[in-house]
């Protein structure tokens, strides 16, 4: 009999599986992908201290540990529906029905679309797809491409593509339109990437760790921003240029790029075509919470965490009996934080099953999660901690 | 290319122009806009355009995002084969 079913074999799901299995629970983990590890599989980057984070190795460590503890792992299975009955959670999958008294949703995030004309042409892909093709499948996505959308995720993946020998001609913004306003606004983008100052060899971006945090200076920075952009890992990062259209007959042939005013408006007469054979669209991430919605979990809109978040407390517990969440479904943060959240959720599930002596470990894991968050070198949103605080207050006002 | 010809819902091939015209003509809620245009009703279950459709309506009606997930999620949340639908699952 399965004590807990975990949906998602990424850093959160596997870490939760480990902490549940260590406390004697019978754990089953399922994942849609054919390899465990989730988005860890795509990750390869250098930490500020110079060491390398190799996501494939991290995923293998988690998988081996889970396997050694008797965790049952099934891959290539999708959940299509779920509901709660007196027997616990009934989870309908592409291969049959699974049941467990406790259910952990660790389904991660999905990419936000930022459409521009031509984005449906073959050769255009999301930045996450390029990462998976490069680092997981080892398939070259093209010879020379453009990344449309400048954010924490696309900067990290740009470096991975360069490491794989794939040339990025430029990183530019998507032209502002009704559906991708913030991603096309140089000021907003500047605000979000100045926090990556430590990664950037350019003086302007490096200022980000200090002075550039002040809005008037960001504006000045934009006025001074060179037309050719700054090079980060050899890639021109062009906050003052936007992709207006992706061109091609049967596949991507070029990207039409135009200069932007500091307000993000196209400067007329400045557009030119950049020949490329692939384009990556990078609109950011949002929590993939469809299963929590189908389960009937209440949500709150918390922009700092990436959008609509299933309501949960510090123990990763939702208001629904036996339903837990961990990882990016609870807000967009790094894999290390997802793993720490998974450990909390696993201990919380052990406490739900009344495994004795878990309360102290649970308190310690919550503390450890806060420390991990405070030390995070890559932050997706500057006010993550505030957003989390707000969510926890809402939970305690309504459900404790 | 005219910006309004940009495809918003890839699965059902609905462009921005269609969505704007429909939303203005019927003063649509997100749900009504989805039902009238089929944006968000395709193979991917709205994973790509759900937020975009909602954002268009928010801007046209000058409203803020609510706590509810825009355009309710309904099972099945992934495509299901007829075999599974008809008897593979019991």
Per-residue 3-state assignment (H helix, E strand, C coil) for A133-197: HHHHCCCCCCCEEEEECCCHHHHHHHHHHHHCCCEEEEEEEECCCCCCCHHHCHHHHHHHHHHHH
What's the pLDDT score for residue B90?
47
From the number of C-beta atoms within 10 Å of its C-beta (0-12, 13-18, 19+), residue A147 rates as buried
Give kind and range of the element (H or E) at residue A42.
none
Whether A249 contacts chain B with CB within 8 A:
no
Percentage of chain A beyond pLDDT 90 is: 72
Please write the tens of the pLDDT for every residue from A17-57: 999 999 999 999 999 999 999 999 999 887 778 888 899 99
Instruction: Choose among A78, A113, A294: nearest Cβ to B52.
Output: A113
Lowest mean pLDDT among A220-224, A247-251, A279-283, B53-57: A220-224
Whether A331 contacts chain B with CB within 8 A:
no
How many whole angstroms separate alpha carbon A235 and alpha carbon B22? Answer: 42
Whether A290 contacts chain B with CB within 8 A:
yes
Considering only residues A212 and A396, tell me which one the structure prediction assigns the higher pLDDT: A396
What's the pLDDT score for residue A215?
58
Whether B89 contacts chain A with CB within 8 A:
yes
Instruction: Choose among A117, A178, A308: nearest Cβ to B69.
Output: A308
What's the pLDDT score for residue A201?
47
Compute φ and ψ for A47, nearest 5 degrees.
-75, 160
Asked whether the predicted pLDDT for residue A202 surpasses 60, the reply is no
Pairing of strands A299-302, A307-310: antiparallel
What's the pLDDT score for residue A375?
85
What's the pLDDT score for residue A15?
98
Question: If you average pLDDT over residues A222-230, what whole number do you get?
Answer: 69
Considering only residues B63 and A142, tell me which one the structure prediction assigns the higher pLDDT: A142
Compute φ and ψ for A198, nearest 5 degrees.
-65, -20
Chain B (28-87) residues lying within 8 Å, Cβ to Cβ, of chain A: 45, 47-49, 51-52, 55-56, 59, 65-69, 72-78, 80-81, 84
Nearest C-alpha in A relative to B77: A80
Asked whether the predicted pLDDT for residue A212 surpasses 60, the reply is no
ipTM of the modeled complex? 0.91
Residues B1, A97: C-beta atoms closer than 8 Å? no
Residues A178, B59: C-beta atoms closer than 8 Å? yes
Residues B1, A245: C-beta atoms closer than 8 Å? yes
Q: Which residues contact A166 (CB under 8 A, 6 or more apart)?
A: A134, A140, A141, A142, A143, A144, A145
* Interface test with chain B among A114, A179, A298, by most B beta carbons within 10 Å: A179
Whether B2 contacts chain A with CB within 8 A:
yes
* Interface test with chain A among B5, B40, B49, B52, by most A beta carbons within 10 Å: B52
Q: What is the CA radius of gyration of chain B?
A: 15
Residues B52, A177: C-beta atoms closer than 8 Å? no
Nearest C-alpha in A relative to B49: A113
Please write the tens of the pLDDT for every residue from A312-351: 999 999 999 999 999 999 999 999 999 999 999 999 999 9
Query: CA nearest A154: which of A243, A237, A46, A218?
Result: A237
Question: If you average pLDDT over residues A238-255, what whole number do you get?
Answer: 95
Question: If you average pLDDT over residues A265-294, what whole number do you get?
Answer: 95
Give me chain A's average pLDDT, please.
Answer: 90
What's the pLDDT score for residue A220?
60
Instruction: Choose among B8, B51, B84: nearest Cβ to A286.
Output: B51
Question: If you average pLDDT over residues A58-81, what whole number do you get?
Answer: 97
The alpha carbon of residue B72 is apart from the nearest alpha carbon of chain A, in Å, by 8
Nearest C-alpha in B relative to A247: B1
In this prediction, residue A205 has a pLDDT band, given cuts at 50, 70 and 90, of low
Question: If you average pLDDT over residues B11-25, what whole number do you get?
Answer: 95
Asked whether the predicted pLDDT for residue B73 surpasses 80, the reply is yes
Query: CA nearest A212: which of A174, A173, A239?
Result: A239
Residues B66, A79: C-beta atoms closer than 8 Å? no
What's the pLDDT score for residue B82?
82
Please write the tens of the pLDDT for every residue from A163-187: 999 999 999 999 988 887 778 888 8
Residue B74 with chain A: CB contacts under 8 Å = 294
Q: What is the CA radius of gyration of chain A?
A: 22
CB A44 within 8 A of CB A135: yes
From the number of C-beta atoms within 10 Å of its C-beta (0-12, 13-18, 19+), residue A202 rates as middle
Compute φ and ψ for A148, nearest 5 degrees.
-105, 115
CB A329 within 8 A of CB A79: no
Considering only residues A95 and A227, tell me which one the structure prediction assigns the higher pLDDT: A95
Question: If you average pLDDT over residues A377-382, what whole number do you get?
Answer: 74
Percentage of chain A beyond pLDDT 70 is: 91
């Amino acid at each position: 009999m399965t004590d807990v079913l975990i949906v998602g074999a990424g850093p959160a799901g596997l870490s939760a599986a480990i902490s549940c299995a260590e406390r004697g629970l019978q754990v089953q983990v399922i994942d849609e992908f054919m390899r465990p590890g989730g988005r860890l599989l795509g990750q390869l980057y250098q930490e500020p201290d110079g060491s390398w984070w190799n996501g494939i190795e991290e995923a293998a460590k988690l998988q081996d540990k889970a396997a050694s503890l008797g965790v049952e792992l099934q891959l290539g299975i999708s959940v299509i529906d779920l509901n709660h009955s007196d027997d616990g959670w009934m989870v309908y999958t592409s291969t049959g029905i699974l049941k467990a008294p406790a259910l952990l949703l660790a389904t991660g995030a999905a990419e936000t679309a930022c459409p521009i004309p031509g984005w449906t042409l073959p050769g255009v892909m999301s930045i996450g797809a390029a990462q998976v093709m490069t680092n997981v499948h080892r398939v070259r996505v093209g010879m020379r491409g453009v990344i449309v959308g400048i954010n924490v995720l696309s900067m990290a993946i740009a470096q991975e593509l360069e490491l794989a020998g794939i040339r990025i001609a430029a990183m530019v913004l998507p032209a502002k339109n009704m559906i991708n306003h913030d991603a096309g606004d140089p000021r907003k983008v500047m605000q979000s990437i100045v926090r990556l100052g430590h990664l950037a060899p350019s003086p302007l971006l490096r200022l980000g760790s200090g002075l550039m945090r002040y809005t008037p200076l960001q504006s000045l920075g934009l006025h001074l921003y060179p037309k050719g952009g700054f090079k980060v890992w050899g890639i021109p990062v062009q906050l003052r240029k936007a992709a207006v259209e992706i061109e091609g007959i049967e596949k991507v042939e070029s990207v039409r790029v135009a200069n932007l005013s500091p307000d993000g408006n196209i400067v007329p007469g400045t557009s030119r075509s950049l020949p490329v054979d692939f384009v990556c669209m990078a609109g950011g991430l949002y929590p993939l919470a469809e299963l929590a919605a189908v389960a009937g979990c209440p949500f709150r809109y918390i922009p700092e965490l990436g959008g609509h978040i299933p309501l949960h407390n510090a123990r990763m517990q939702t208001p629904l009996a036996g339903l837990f969440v961990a990882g990016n479904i609870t807000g967009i943060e790094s894999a290390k934080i997802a793993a720490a959240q998974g450990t909390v959720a696993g201990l919380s599930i052990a406490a739900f099953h009344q495994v004795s002596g878990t309360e102290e470990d649970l308190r310690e894991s919550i503390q450890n999660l806060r420390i991990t968050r405070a030390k995070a070198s890559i932050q997706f949103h500057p006010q993550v901690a505030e957003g989390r605080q707000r969510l926890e207050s809402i939970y305690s006002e309504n459900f404790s | 290319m005219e910006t309004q010809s940009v495809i918003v819902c890839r699965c059902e091939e609905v462009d921005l122009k269609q969505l704007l015209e429909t939303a203005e003509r019927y003063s649509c809620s997100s749900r009504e806009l989805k039902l009238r245009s089929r944006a968000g009703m395709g193979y991917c279950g709205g994973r790509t355009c759900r937020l975009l459709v909602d954002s268009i309506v928010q801007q046209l009606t000058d409203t803020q995002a609510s706590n509810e997930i825009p355009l309710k999620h309904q099972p099945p949340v992934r495509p299901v084969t007829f075999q599974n639908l008809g008897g593979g699952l019991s």
